[in-house]
């Protein structure tokens, strides 16, 4: 059983992968879990992996062809640096945290396999009044989907939360959250065929979509003879100022929206935007470059006339 | 002595050269390379190099800027950064200093800036001692720096000039280390012919960086993180390919150097190898002693020979294998020790020979650590071992050279240090 | 060492005199709401594009990650311990190349070290001291996020008393988290007699801009310690980044000052200082001082330190100028 979690830095997908790992370990299975993150920060796409098997696991690193994919943030679905559905096959179950319903997603994503979705964010918020429980909710939902019991799932949560210093109330809220998330996902499990965490890891089957296990000699898989290139190319230097092409706008969870009539063109937001994502137009009104605005909302918070509204990003 | 006085005294003695220490020869190399920048930090036995250069700069004899930094890490940071700004840079260190700045070696190689760093080999602490062995320079063998190892003071000077040519060649573009042994070369005077400045300038044209430089309005971010195995592998592989290019480029440069100055340096130096059956492999100043041993044994009728390793990075595996294949037996004398492994260059020579059908029995010998002498008797013992190995006998390898007399003197030291009688 | 090289540059009076052009472009991989980046971005508006940033390893490693760079000028990425020494190399190289006619004077650039507090207060202390002692004509921008941020927020000698980091966790045997006080880098540097020395805050852009403008007229070491509000390490919502920076000044925890020719001038004196609690409360790194039980002793200690600082400043007469 291979499970891949996708989220953004700060959303707790590493913890989710560990909750699943600990739950399976508690169930007596062999487990391997690991995160990958670049040096990027909060808001940037991250992934985490949990492998579960009955016998020793002879795999390492990234999971290219997962059985279950958990997506913590629907804005990741079309993000080129995340590609959460890469390596999907018709067998792959995809669990998405979103208010959009599964059928609509099925169409948009053109995914052949099962998609389940629920608004875990609202669930978390309604119980814990913060967003920090997303890891618990999605870790437990994944545990339910792969066939672990509620008791095992709760053990996984307890194990992982032992490292956090939580108040008694927060701890109890988390437990309640875990139970609800389990119930939600458990209802999906029966249809049409449950994933079984106790399955031994089969060799990663050739997925139908991206990253298909290419037959020998397929384009791109052959080894090449690397040639010497002149120093002007082979020296690691960058000769253009080009970070705006990185499109950090995809990090944004909330979008600042200028209400022009409230703005008095005071320059505060332009000066205080840490990114330099705001320019000024000919009337000195701010122009936000949404390609790069990270959605930190400093501009919103600092505007003396409260001229910005915020809007949750839906992509 | 001032550079002007030195030149005056040397006038009319061009053919025989003049008496220079290895350190002075290194300083002459830097001076003839017309370097722009010399960041410095003192350490025995290197200090004389920077003192000499400081004096020449103070006298206005050379146009370089000289700055004393606060450590070798800073010195190498300044050196690398100045090269990254587009200057021709020379600097020197030794032993502890090389290790203190070690982080920067990989950085500088990664920046692909062709500075020259002279290392005056000295054994590494602890315990501390001042004389040469090669653990310091060999620790840098994987850094991406080119490495040229000199046997004589003349070769020190010539190697500095050649190192710049090689390092700055567009087919290479990597920094270079030139190694000379502490005391046995650094403080030893011997005749050195100093090339005419004009001839040196013709041999080594000005450095014209266009791949890495810092210039007004031109955006260039140097040495950024790549944060991916893909890009990292690409750039490290390019260092490997550049190093391999350097094998050929070196031969070209050596031929030009020979034509211009009459002294020929190969990647390796064969000594009495033509018909040699029993061969020593050595590097640096003690190779001179090895050559003496070869002649002595030849006079006794043994077909002895020696192969001196000169360019260690890039590693001239083919040249080494060609030179050693088919011999009766070969001993690699390493003036270094990797505890738990043995001699360092032994491993590399063995690997070079591995796929040769007529590879000879290959012995590893450790000697000259901390500058400890290798006596005639010890060389004789090594040749004796070689004959036994050739005859198919099993021979202890690596052999740690230590004589009975040395053993006894060591017992005395132990006694004085309060370690009681010999067990 | 601090000979003025150009006539005094006129100070600005309001936000609208800040340059509109960006010299460090958006889209870098550092956190949203990073106060350090805001400070550097504002500094860059004074420094312009004929500038090379010499970056020590730290969070700002992420400014340029191959194949993307935000810099209109140049950048050289170096080690945690060696940035000022690298600045020395670059400055010397450019000077000697110009002196030898190998570099047109119009290609000259200003050399600016960018380094975190871990680098500046700890590992690079000697290298920095050396560069300042040598009178190097360079700028130093220390973005002080009061921890080793890039490695996940460990204690540095700039971490203040009472802050929790991952290597100074809170436990029954260590109730305050970080038990030592912050190293006084300003005074250490002041003793080196640099041409210019100042503290800056990203929430005081006019003050920051004026300090860079003033330093522009001086040759020699021009040193800046920038308070770098850090949502990720200090545990607050990114949108509060500027607010947290402002509270640091309003509570008197972070003093805005400068030093030219040895004399210290406070460039902004909070008339009625807010209680330090207002600054501490909003940051997760201090949460243990309030919950589950209030650590009055620690809070008092922090308040007293601040009060003592300003009393001494007033006595020294620095505050009056
Ligand atoms: C010699 C060395 N040791 C350790 C590290 C690991 N390291 C990288 S960044 C960093 C933290 C630097 O802290 P600081 O200077 O405050 O910068 P920040 O990360 O907070 O921006 C450390 C410890 C390193 N790069 N080099
Ligand atoms: S801070 Fe507010 S009022 Fe000022 S320019 Fe920005 S949006 Fe307009
Ligand atoms: S939210 Fe506002 S302050 Fe933050 S990056 Fe976007 S425009 Fe800049
Ligand atoms: S950790 Fe703090 S200092 Fe580092 S990039 Fe993030 S906000 Fe900036
Ligand atoms: Mg820091």
Instruction: For residues B260 and B263, give the distance between their C-alpha atoms in angstroms, rounded to a whole number.
Output: 8
Mean pLDDT of A74-88: 84
Residue ending a domain, among A210, A244, A273, is A210
What CATH number should be reported for the domain holding residue A179? Answer: 3.40.920.10
- Domain boundaries in chain B? 3-213+222-261, 268-409
Q: Which residue has the tokens 């210093």?
A: A165
What is the structure's pLDDT at B11?
Answer: 54
The pairing of strands B90-93 and B116-121 is: parallel
What is the structure's pLDDT at A93?
Answer: 93
Q: Nearest C-alpha to atom 6 of ligand 3 is from which residue?
A: A293
What is the structure's pLDDT at B1?
Answer: 56
Counting ligands in written order, the one closest to the CA of A300 is 3
| Domain at C15-315, CATH homologous superfamily | Thiamin diphosphate (ThDP)-binding fold, Pyr/PP domains (3.40.50.970)
- Check pLDDT > 80 for residue A131: no
Q: Cα–chain-centroid distance for residue C257? A: 12
Kindly state whether residue A58 falls inside one of the protein's structural domains.
yes
Domain B3-213+222-261 -> CATH class: alpha beta
Instruction: For residues C293 and C280, give the distance between their C-alpha atoms in angstroms, rounded to a whole number.
Output: 15
Summary mean pLDDT of chain A: 87
Instruction: For residues C221 and C128, give the distance between their C-alpha atoms in angstroms, rounded to a whole number.
Output: 10
Structure tokens, C79 = 């080690």
Q: Are A252 and A293 in contact (CB under 8 A)?
A: yes
Q: Are A10 and A45 in contact (CB under 8 A)?
A: no
Instruction: For residues C18 and A164, give the distance between their C-alpha atoms in angstroms, rounded to a whole number.
Output: 44
> Among the listed ranges A209-223, C165-179, C199-213, C306-320, which one has the minimum average pLDDT value?
A209-223
- Check pLDDT > 80 for residue A232: yes
Is residue A194 located within the same domain as residue A305?
no
- Domain boundaries in chain C? 15-315
Instruction: For residues B191 and B199, give the distance between their C-alpha atoms in angstroms, rounded to a whole number.
Output: 19
- What is the tally of structural domains in chain A? 2
Instruction: For residues B312 and B346, give the distance between their C-alpha atoms in angstroms, rounded to a whole number.
Output: 12
Kindly state whether residue A47 falls inside one of the protein's structural domains.
yes
Is residue A23 located within the same domain as residue A108?
yes
Per the CB < 8 Å rule, is A234 touching B171? no
pLDDT bin (cut points 50, 70, 90) of residue C6 is low
pLDDT bin (cut points 50, 70, 90) of residue A212 is very low
What is the structure's pLDDT at C107?
Answer: 95
Q: List CB contacts (< 8 A) between B237 and chain A.
A: 226
pLDDT bin (cut points 50, 70, 90) of residue A78 is confident
- Ligand 4 centre distance from Cα of residue C232 (Å): 6
What angle is formed at CA C143 by the lines to CA A251 and CA C45, rounded to 5 degrees?
A: 80
Kindly state whether residue A151 falls inside one of the protein's structural domains.
yes
A260 burial type by CB count under 10 A (0-12 exposed, 13-18 middle, 19+ buried): exposed
Mean pLDDT of C265-273: 96
What is the structure's pLDDT at C320?
Answer: 44
Is residue A237 located within the same domain as residue A189?
no
What is the structure's pLDDT at A207?
Answer: 39
What is the structure's pLDDT at A74?
Answer: 86
What is the structure's pLDDT at A201?
Answer: 54
What is the structure's pLDDT at C139?
Answer: 98
CB < 8 Å from B in window 100-139 of C: 100, 102-103, 106-109, 126-127, 129-130, 134
C256 burial type by CB count under 10 A (0-12 exposed, 13-18 middle, 19+ buried): buried
Q: Give me the residues of chain B with pLDDT under 70, please.
A: 1-2, 4-15, 421-423
CATH number of B268-409: 3.40.50.920
Q: Nearest C-alpha to atom 26 of ligand 1 is from which residue?
A: C80
Residues of A with CB under 8 A from a CB of B: 38-39, 226-232, 234-241
First to last CA, chain A: 30
Mean pLDDT of C269-287: 97
Instruction: For residues C204 and C229, give the distance between their C-alpha atoms in angstroms, rounded to a whole number.
Output: 12
Structure tokens, A177 = 């959250």
**Residue A288 is inside which H or E element, if any?**
strand A286-288
What is the structure's pLDDT at B6?
Answer: 64
Is residue A24 located within the same domain as residue A146?
yes
Q: What is the pTM of this model?
A: 0.91
Ligand 2 cavity residues, CB under 6 Å: A 258, 263-269, 286, 303, 305, 307-308
pLDDT, tens digit, for every residue of C155-172?
A: 999 999 999 999 999 988
Domain that holds residue A297: 231-312
Alpha helices in chain A (DSSP H): 13-26, 102-109, 120-128, 134-145, 150-161, 168-189, 231-234, 268-272, 298-302
What is the structure's pLDDT at A214?
Answer: 45
The interface pTM score, or ipTM, of the predicted complex is 0.95
Whether B3-213+222-261 and B268-409 share one fold: the answer is yes
Is residue A42 located within the same domain as residue A106?
yes
Instruction: For residues C81 and C115, give the distance between their C-alpha atoms in angstroms, rounded to a whole number.
Output: 10
What is the structure's pLDDT at A195?
Answer: 58
- Check pLDDT > 80 for residue C5: no
What is the structure's pLDDT at A233?
Answer: 96
Is residue A53 located within the same domain as residue A202?
yes
Is residue A38 located within the same domain as residue A137?
yes
């Amino acid at each position: 059983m291979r499970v891949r979690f996708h989220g953004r830095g700060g959303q707790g997908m590493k913890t989710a992968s560990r909750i699943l790992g600990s739950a399976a370990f508690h169930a007596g299975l062999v487990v391997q879990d690991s995160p990958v993150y670049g040096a990027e920060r909060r808001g940037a796409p991250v992934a985490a992996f949990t492998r579960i098997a009955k016998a020793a696991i002879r795999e390492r690193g990234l999971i290219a062809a997962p059985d279950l994919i958990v997506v913590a943030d629907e804005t990741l679905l079309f993000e080129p640096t995340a590609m959460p559905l890469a390596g999907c096959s018709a067998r792959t179950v995809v669990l998405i945290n979103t208010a959009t319903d599964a059928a609509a997603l099925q169409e948009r994503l053109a995914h052949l396999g099962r998609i389940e979705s629920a608004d875990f964010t609202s669930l978390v918020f309604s119980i814990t009044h913060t967003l920090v429980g997303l890891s618990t909710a999605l870790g437990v939902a994944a545990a339910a989907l792969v066939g672990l019991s509620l008791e095992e799932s709760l053990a996984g949560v307890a194990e992982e939360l032992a490292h956090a210093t939580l108040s008694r109330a927060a701890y109890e809220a988390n437990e309640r959250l875990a139970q609800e998330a389990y119930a939600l996902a458990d209802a999906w499990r029966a249809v049409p065929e449950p994933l079984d965490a106790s399955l031994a890891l089969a060799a990663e089957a050739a997925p139908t979509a991206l990253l298909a296990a290419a037959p020998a000699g397929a384009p791109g898989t052959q080894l090449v003879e690397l040639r010497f290139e002149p120093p002007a190319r082979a020296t690691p230097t960058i000769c253009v100022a080009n970070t705006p092409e990185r499109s950090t706008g995809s990090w944004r969870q909330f979008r600042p929206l200028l209400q022009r009539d409230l703005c008095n063109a005071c320059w505060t937001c332009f000066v205080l935007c840490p990114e330099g994502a705001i320019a000024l137009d000919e009337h000195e009104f701010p122009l936000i470059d949404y390609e790069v605005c990270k959605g930190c909302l400093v501009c919103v918070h600092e505007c003396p006339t409260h001229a910005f509204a915020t809007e949750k990003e839906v992509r | 002595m001032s550079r002007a006085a030195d030149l005056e005294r040397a006038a009319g003695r061009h053919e025989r050269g003049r008496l220079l220490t290895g350190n002075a020869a290194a300083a002459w190399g830097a001076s003839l390379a017309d370097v722009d920048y010399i960041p410095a930090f003192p350490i025995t036995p290197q200090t004389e190099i920077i003192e000499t250069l400081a004096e020449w700069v103070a006298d206005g004899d050379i146009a370089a800027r000289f700055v004393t930094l606060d450590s070798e890490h800073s010195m190498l940071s300044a050196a690398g950064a100045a090269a990254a700004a587009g200057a021709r840079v020379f600097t020197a260190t030794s032993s502890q200093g090389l290790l203190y700045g070690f982080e920067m070696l990989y950085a500088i190689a990664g920046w692909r800036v062709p500075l020259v760093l002279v290392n005056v080999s000295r054994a590494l602490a602890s315990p501390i001692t001042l004389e040469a062995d090669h653990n310091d320079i060999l620790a840098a063998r994987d850094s991406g720096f080119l490495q040229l190892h000199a046997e004589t003071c003349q070769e020190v000077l010539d190697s500095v000039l050649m190192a710049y040519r090689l390092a700055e060649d567009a087919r290479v573009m990597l920094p270079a280390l030139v190694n000379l042994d502490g005391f046995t070369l650094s403080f030893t005077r011997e005749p050195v012919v100093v090339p005419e400045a004009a001839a040196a300038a013709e041999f080594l044209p000005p450095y014209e960086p266009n791949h890495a430089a810092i210039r007004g309005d031109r955006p260039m971010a140097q040495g950024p993180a790549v944060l991916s195995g893909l890009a990292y592998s690409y750039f490290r592989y390019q260092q490997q390919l550049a190093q391999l290019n350097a094998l050929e480029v070196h031969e070209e440069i050596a031929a030009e150097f020979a034509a211009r100055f009459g002294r020929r340096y190969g990647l390796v130096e064969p000594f009495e190898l033509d018909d040699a059956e029993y061969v020593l492999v050595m590097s640096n100043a003690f190779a001179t002693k090895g050559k003496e041993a070869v002649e002595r044994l030849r006079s006794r009728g043994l077909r002895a020979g020696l192969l001196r390793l000169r360019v260690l990075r890039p590693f001239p595996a083919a040249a080494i294998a060609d030179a050693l294949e088919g011999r009766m037996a070969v001993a690699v004398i390493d003036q270094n020790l990797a505890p738990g492994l043995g001699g360092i260059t032994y491993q590399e020579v063995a690997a070079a020979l591995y796929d040769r059908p007529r590879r000879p029995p290959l012995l590893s010998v450790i000697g000259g650590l901390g500058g400890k002498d290798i006596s005639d008797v010890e060389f004789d013992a090594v040749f004796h071992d070689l004959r036994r190995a050739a005859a198919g006998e099993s021979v202890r390898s690596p052999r740690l050279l230590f004589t009975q007399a040395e053993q006894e003197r060591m017992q005395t030291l132990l006694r004085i240090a309060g370690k009681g009688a010999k067990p | 060492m601090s000979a003025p090289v150009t006539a005094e540059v006129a100070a600005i009076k309001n936000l609208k005199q800040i340059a509109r052009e960006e010299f460090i472009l958006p889209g870098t991989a550092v956190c949203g709401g990073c106060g350090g980046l805001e400070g550097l971005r504002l500094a860059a508006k004074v420094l312009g594009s004929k500038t090379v940033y010499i970056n020590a390893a730290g969070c700002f490693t992420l400014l340029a990650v191959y194949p993307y760079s935000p810099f209109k000028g140049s950048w050289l990425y170096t080690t945690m311990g060696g940035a000022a020494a690298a600045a020395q190399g670059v400055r010397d190289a450019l000077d000697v190349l110009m002196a030898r006619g190998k570099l047109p004077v119009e290609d000259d650039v200003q050399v600016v070290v960018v380094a975190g507090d871990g680098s500046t207060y700890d590992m690079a202390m000697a290298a920095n001291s050396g560069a300042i002692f040598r009178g190097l004509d360079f700028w130093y921008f220390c973005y002080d996020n009061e921890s080793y941020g890039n490695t996940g927020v460990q204690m540095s000698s700039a971490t203040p008393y009472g802050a929790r980091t991952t290597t100074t966790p809170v436990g029954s045997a260590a109730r305050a988290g970080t038990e030592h006080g912050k190293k006084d880098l300003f005074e250490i540097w002041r003793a080196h007699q640099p041409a210019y020395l100042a503290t800056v805050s990203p929430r005081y852009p006019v003050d920051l801009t004026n300090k860079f403008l003033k330093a522009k007229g001086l040759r020699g070491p021009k040193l800046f310690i920038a308070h770098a509000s850090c949502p990720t390490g200090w545990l607050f919502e990114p949108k509060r980044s500027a607010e947290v920076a402002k509270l640091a000044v309003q509570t008197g925890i972070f003093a805005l000052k400068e030093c030219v020719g040895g004399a210290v001038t406070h460039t902004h004196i909070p008339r009625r200082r807010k209680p330090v609690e207002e600054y501490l409360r909003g940051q997760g790194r201090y949460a243990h001082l309030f919950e589950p039980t209030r650590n009055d002793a620690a809070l008092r200690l922090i308040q007293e330190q601040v009060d003592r600082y300003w009393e001494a400043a007033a006595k020294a007469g620095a505050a009056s100028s």
